[in-house]
Chain A
Amino acid sequence: MLLIEADGKALFAEQGIPVPAGVVVTDVVTALPGDGPWMVKAQVPVGGRGKAGGIVRCGSKAEVEAAVGSMLGGRLKGHAVDACLVEAAAVGQERYISVMVDAASYGLRVIYAAAGGVEIEESGSAEGRLCAAHPGAVAEALEDLLAGEPVAWRDQVAAIGKAMATLLIDKELALVEINPLFVSESDCVAGDAKVVVDLNAVERQPVIAAMIAARPVVYMDANRKIAEGFDYVELDPEGEIGLVTTGAGLSMMLIDELVARGAKPLNFCDIRTGQMRGSPARLIRVLEWITARPSLKAVLVNIFAGITDLGEFSGLLAAAMQASPGFKVPVVARLVGRNAAEAKRILGEAQPGMLVTEELAEALVRIDTIVAAAS
Chain B
Amino acid sequence: MIGSLSRATPVIVQGITGRMGRGHAALMRSYGTNIVGGTSVRTDVTEAAGVPVFPNCAEAVLATGAVASVLMAPPLETLGAVREALTAGIKLIVTVAEGVPIHDAIRIGRAVRRAGAVWVGASTPGLAVPGECKLGFLPDVCLSPGPIGIMSKSGTLSYEVGYRLAREGLGQSIWVGVGGDPVKGVRFADMLPVFFDDPRTKGIVLVGEVGGVEEEECAEAYARLGARKPLFALIAGREAKEGVSMGHAGALVHGETGTLDSKTRRLTAARATVFGSIDELIKRCVRFCLFDRG
| B141 contacts the other chain (CB 8 A) | yes
Q: In the complex, which residues of chain A have a beta carbon less than 8 angstroms from the beta carbon of B246?
A: 231, 233, 248, 251-252, 268
Q: In the complex, which residues of chain B have a beta carbon less than 8 angstroms from the beta carbon of A361?
A: 279
* Whole-angstrom distance between the Cβ of A43 and the nearest chain B Cβ: 12
Q: In the complex, which residues of chain B have a beta carbon less than 8 angstroms from the beta carbon of A201?
A: 101-103
With A133-B106, A248-B154, A336-B163 already in contact, the answer to whether A103 and B184 are too (CB < 8 A) is yes
A-B contact pairs, 14 of them (CB 8 A): A1-B243, A1-B244, A46-B242, A101-B183, A107-B110, A121-B256, A199-B245, A200-B75, A249-B152, A249-B155, A249-B207, A252-B210, A306-B125, A306-B137
Check A198 against B101 for contact (C-beta < 8 Å). yes
Please provide the 8 A-B residue pairs with the shortest distance between their CB atoms, ordered closest to farther: A249-B154, A247-B156, A248-B247, A306-B139, A249-B157, A106-B109, A250-B156, A201-B101
| B241 contacts the other chain (CB 8 A) | yes
* Whole-angstrom distance between the Cβ of A195 and the nearest chain B Cβ: 11
| A94 contacts the other chain (CB 8 A) | no
Q: In the complex, which residues of chain A have a beta carbon less than 8 angstroms from the beta carbon of B243?
A: 1-2, 45-47, 79
Best-surrounded residue of B100, B212, B238 (most CB of chain A within 10 A): B238
With A249-B158, A250-B157, A337-B141 already in contact, the answer to whether A106 and B106 are too (CB < 8 A) is yes
| B113 contacts the other chain (CB 8 A) | yes
Binds B, one of A67-75, A80-88, A255-263, A290-298: A255-263
- Residues of A114-169 at the interface with B, using a CB-CB cut-off of 8 Å, are 121-122, 133, 169
Check A256 against B237 for contact (C-beta < 8 Å). yes
Best-surrounded residue of B105, B106, B125, B210 (most CB of chain A within 10 A): B106
With A104-B217, A304-B160 already in contact, the answer to whether A253 and B234 are too (CB < 8 A) is yes
With A48-B255, A199-B249 already in contact, the answer to whether A103 and B182 are too (CB < 8 A) is yes
- Residues of B82-114 at the interface with A, using a CB-CB cut-off of 8 Å, are 99-103, 105-107, 109-110, 113
With A235-B241, A249-B155, A252-B236 already in contact, the answer to whether A304 and B103 are too (CB < 8 A) is no
| B277 contacts the other chain (CB 8 A) | yes
Complex partner residue of A101 from B103, B153, B158, B236, CB under 8 angstroms: B103
Q: Which residues of B contact A (CB under 8 A)?
A: 27, 75-76, 99-103, 105-107, 109-110, 113, 125, 137-139, 141-142, 152-160, 163, 180, 182-184, 187, 207, 209-210, 212, 214, 217, 234, 236-249, 251-252, 254-257, 276-279
Complex partner residue of B106 from A79, A101, A305, A336, CB under 8 angstroms: A101
| Chain A interface, number of residues (Cβ within 8 angstroms) | 56
Check B159 against A304 for contact (C-beta < 8 Å). yes
Cα A361 to Cα B251 in complex, Å, equals: 26
Check A260 against B155 for contact (C-beta < 8 Å). no
Task: Write the chain A residue with the least CB distance to B279.
Answer: A361
Check A306 against B102 for contact (C-beta < 8 Å). no
Cα A173 to Cα B34 in complex, Å, equals: 40
Q: Which residues of A contact B (CB under 8 A)?
A: 1-2, 45-48, 77-79, 101, 103-104, 106-107, 121-122, 133, 169, 172, 174, 194, 196, 198-201, 203-204, 221, 231, 233, 235, 246-253, 255-257, 259-260, 265, 268, 270, 304-307, 336-337, 360-361
Q: In the complex, which residues of chain B have a beta carbon less than 8 angstroms from the beta carbon of A270?
A: 247
Check A204 against B76 for contact (C-beta < 8 Å). yes
Q: In the complex, which residues of chain B have a beta carbon less than 8 angstroms from the beta carbon of A45?
A: 243-244
Q: In the complex, which residues of chain B have a beta carbon less than 8 angstroms from the beta carbon of A2?
A: 243-244, 252, 254
Check A252 against B209 for contact (C-beta < 8 Å). yes
Task: Write the chain B residue with the least CB distance to A121.
Answer: B256
Q: In the complex, which residues of chain B have a beta carbon less than 8 angstroms from the beta carbon of A221?
A: 244
Check A260 against B277 for contact (C-beta < 8 Å). yes
Cα A298 to Cα B237 in complex, Å, equals: 22
Complex partner residue of A233 from B107, B244, B278, CB under 8 angstroms: B244
Best-surrounded residue of B113, B137, B245, B252 (most CB of chain A within 10 A): B245
Check B106 against A47 for contact (C-beta < 8 Å). no
